[in-house]
Amino acid sequence: MSGVSSSCSRSSWPWSKRCPCSDSVSPMAQRSSALSICSSNTGDLPVYVFAKLTGMSPESNSQGRQVGLRPRRADAARNRAVLVQTARSLFDKHGVDVPLDQIAKRAGVGNATLYRHFPSRAELIVAVYASEVEALRQASDDLLEDPDPGQALTSWLLLFVRHIATKQDLALALPDDNERGVLFGAWHATMHDAASQLFARAREAGAVRAGITTTDMLALARGIALTGLPSTQLEALLDMARHGYQAGDEDPPSPIRRGRGV
């Protein structure tokens, strides 16, 4: 698909490498009710893919071609939100193979309503993962109000670490089709945007070494998350890392910019 680098489209896990479009994302990147999408790619996303990310309904012209999006009715939007939240909770407890009729029953809707919103399990998984990404983006916005910029950055990185550590099965359950790279590219951009705002604020406050980049920070957090250690040890590792990226007398060069990678 146009607009997304092949390095994104081949990813089997959304944080396996830096999104190639991430450096172009600004704090004003376009947002939706579900998540923000890299501003350089928004216009290239197929309508039906964008609809999955936003929870809006595709709108067709007289020839049946999808030409835009329209908001869902209030009751339909509520049902969709309840289904996503219920599925999110049940996936966390029982895995992504939980019966769909159990999700509908727990959400208080009929199976027909569930399938109207999510014709397949794969589409429900996409919506649930999008909601996880949106929760992290919203957390970033909330933490921008924290009076301690350095602590705000660390708090968000801990949420990011926990996300990667606990949502791998959910991410790997996403269908490996032509849409996968588009979705992962959008999620990459969203997280880089969310982290960049907190990172810039922390660096301006003198809480982060000048030679370190947002990409370094996300790579560091990802490496910690993929150790497979329990949550308490992950937090301890991140605390150790914090002493490395906090501003000090000597600023180390960025390992990624030196070409060593992480």
Largest CA distance in the chain: 66
Cβ atoms 57, 70 nearer than 8 A? yes
Residue 262 counted as domain residue: no
Residue 253 counted as domain residue: no
- Tell me the average pLDDT of the chain: 76
Model confidence band, residue 201 (pLDDT cutoffs 50, 70, 90): very high
pLDDT of residue 59: 52
pLDDT of residue 224: 94
Cβ atoms 154, 134 nearer than 8 A? no
Residue 261 counted as domain residue: no
pLDDT of residue 88: 97
The pair phi, psi for residue 165, each rounded to 5°, is: -65, -30
Residue 258 counted as domain residue: no
For 226-237, the pLDDT digits (tens) are 998 888 899 999
| CATH number of the structural domain spanning residue 177 | 1.10.357.10
The amino acid at residue 78 is R
Residue 254 counted as domain residue: no
pLDDT of residue 179: 80
Query: Between 26 and 214, whose confidence is greater?
Result: 214
Query: Between 68 and 54, whose confidence is greater?
Result: 54
Model confidence band, residue 184 (pLDDT cutoffs 50, 70, 90): confident
Q: What Å distances lie between residue 186 and 45, 136, 152, 247, 255, CA to CA? A: 9, 14, 24, 31, 25
> 248: which 2 tokens?
């000090």
Model confidence band, residue 30 (pLDDT cutoffs 50, 70, 90): very low
In this predicted structure, the answer to whether residue 79 has a pLDDT above a threshold of 90 is yes
Residue 6 counted as domain residue: no
Residue 260 counted as domain residue: no
Residue 173 belongs to domain spanning: 12-245
How many structural domains does the chain have?
1
> 251: which 2 tokens?
């600023």
Which range among 167-176, 188-197, 200-209 shows the weakest confidence by mean pLDDT? 167-176
Residue 115 counted as domain residue: yes
In this predicted structure, the answer to whether residue 164 has a pLDDT above a threshold of 50 is yes
In this predicted structure, the answer to whether residue 26 has a pLDDT above a threshold of 70 is no
pTM passes above 0.85: no
In this predicted structure, the answer to whether residue 151 has a pLDDT above a threshold of 80 is yes
In this predicted structure, the answer to whether residue 161 has a pLDDT above a threshold of 80 is yes
